[in-house]
Amino acid sequence: MERETLEMDVVFVGAGPANLSGALHLARLIKSHNEAVKSGGRQGEPLGEIEIGVIEKGASVGAHILSGAVMDPRALRELIPDFVEQGAPVESTVNEDYFLYLTKNRAIRSPITPPPLKNHGYYIVSLNRLTAWLGEKCEEAGVNIFPEFPGAEVLYDEKDQVVGVRTGDKGIDKEGKRKPNFEPGVDLLAKITVLGEGPRGSLTKKLVQRLGLDEGREPQVYSIGVKELWELPDDRYPTGRVTHTLGFPSDSQTYGGGWIYGMQNRILNLGYVTGLDYKDPLLDPHAEFQRFKQHPFLRRLLEGGKMIRYGAKTIAAGGYFAMPQIYADGVLLVGDCAGFLNSQRLKGIHSAIKSGMLAAETVFEALLAKDYSAKQLQRYEQLVNESWIIPELRKVRNFHAGFKHGRWLGLVNTGFQFITGGRAWGLFDRARATASPKAR
């Protein structure tokens, strides 16, 4: 089959916050370098016109992003210091934090909000709208964005160096047969490919297996968050209030918890996370969420409201010890597919944006050196280690593992880690200490 070939310099796979931030930062670095060389302020040669492309499987940027999240603005402020003044679509600053323990019939408010769940001053955002806004910033900077171009296959040379991606064929029926409107995918060739597909991305999964990027790492652990947006009939839940819950409907052996965010225009964002390492073979995460909504506290909150959107998202909760190698010949991993989520804080947007920026700096240096090998791209790992990403993840490196003995011992372990800077109580972590290649 003959396929069209399109040559780019850098291809970002997935239009999420990590890749959009990376593409924008890279375009700015190149422009600044070229202008500095031209004016005599910097030695060397200009890079000239560097073609940067972002491919996205959705019909538009943000179409496959599930709305509603609390964002630590640290990384976005580094990328765009005046993001609020520039019109970033933030819903509200967080001005109230609640932490509830749910029994079957009661909602008990904790007098103290656990430090990891303190979000005062952060932003409630519609991630769908935020990524669309970042996409506009990328296009203004000259980045090529290709919606409805799903990445179907990673392209390699004879030495297993990544040389680009192949987009999916169009005009295929449900049985995999070609329809009259069949159109073969395009081979996008690139010096460097950046994968930012989110948790368990199809290309990332195959790449990690083929190149052995998970050797010496622990298996990734996943949770699933089921969420809905509700339109309330009145102002019963104020904009800017954030509530997290523990307890009902999960039993004490199942990792899980809920959230409720107050957004603008009487929109309520609520959801429930269930760890997919649950022990009950009959447990259904979606059914758990439905039970969560039937709790008297939630039932009163939603009474008279209208559900307007729903969805689910996988969460890579393994953390520091489950991170794969984040670079190889011709390729970098960013965001959730690199395992940068802080599962204790339920925060990943800030580290995704920061990882995209660090990937951009690595790509920029590689373009200057005209070297796209793993030896050159290892610089990315160095930048990540020197940033605030790894210190943050190390502090919570044993968080999820602590819950393997149930909720109560898991909470004890969480408190112990908070005091010791991430070290786990020996009861939970003795076996992992000998199995993992990374130091405790």
Predicted local distance difference test score (pLDDT) of residue 400: 74
Q: What average pLDDT does this structure show over 275-303?
A: 95
pLDDT value at 302 more than 90: yes
Name the segment(s) of the chain with CATH classification 3.50.50.60: 5-64+131-219+320-394
CATH architecture of 93-124+222-316: 2-Layer Sandwich (3.30)
What's the whole-model pTM score? 0.91
Predicted local distance difference test score (pLDDT) of residue 113: 85
Name the segment(s) of the chain with CATH classification 3.30.9.90: 93-124+222-316
Predicted local distance difference test score (pLDDT) of residue 423: 67
Predicted local distance difference test score (pLDDT) of residue 151: 93
Q: What average pLDDT does this structure show over 305-321?
A: 92
pLDDT (tens digit per residue) in 125-166: 989 999 999 999 999 999 999 999 999 999 999 999 999 999
Please give the share of the chain, as a percent, with pLDDT higher than 90.
71
Q: Which SS3 state, helix, strand or coil, does residue 77 take?
A: helix
Q: Which long-range contacts (CB under 8 A, 24 or more apart) does 299-307 make?
A: 301/232, 301/236, 301/237, 301/260, 301/268, 302/230, 302/232, 302/268, 304/232, 304/233, 304/234, 305/230, 305/231, 305/232, 305/233, 305/268, 306/230, 306/231, 307/228, 307/229, 307/230
Please give the share of the chain, as a percent, with pLDDT higher than 70.
92
Predicted local distance difference test score (pLDDT) of residue 435: 43
CATH of domain 5-64+131-219+320-394: 3.50.50.60
Predicted local distance difference test score (pLDDT) of residue 434: 40
More confident position, 429 or 45 = 45
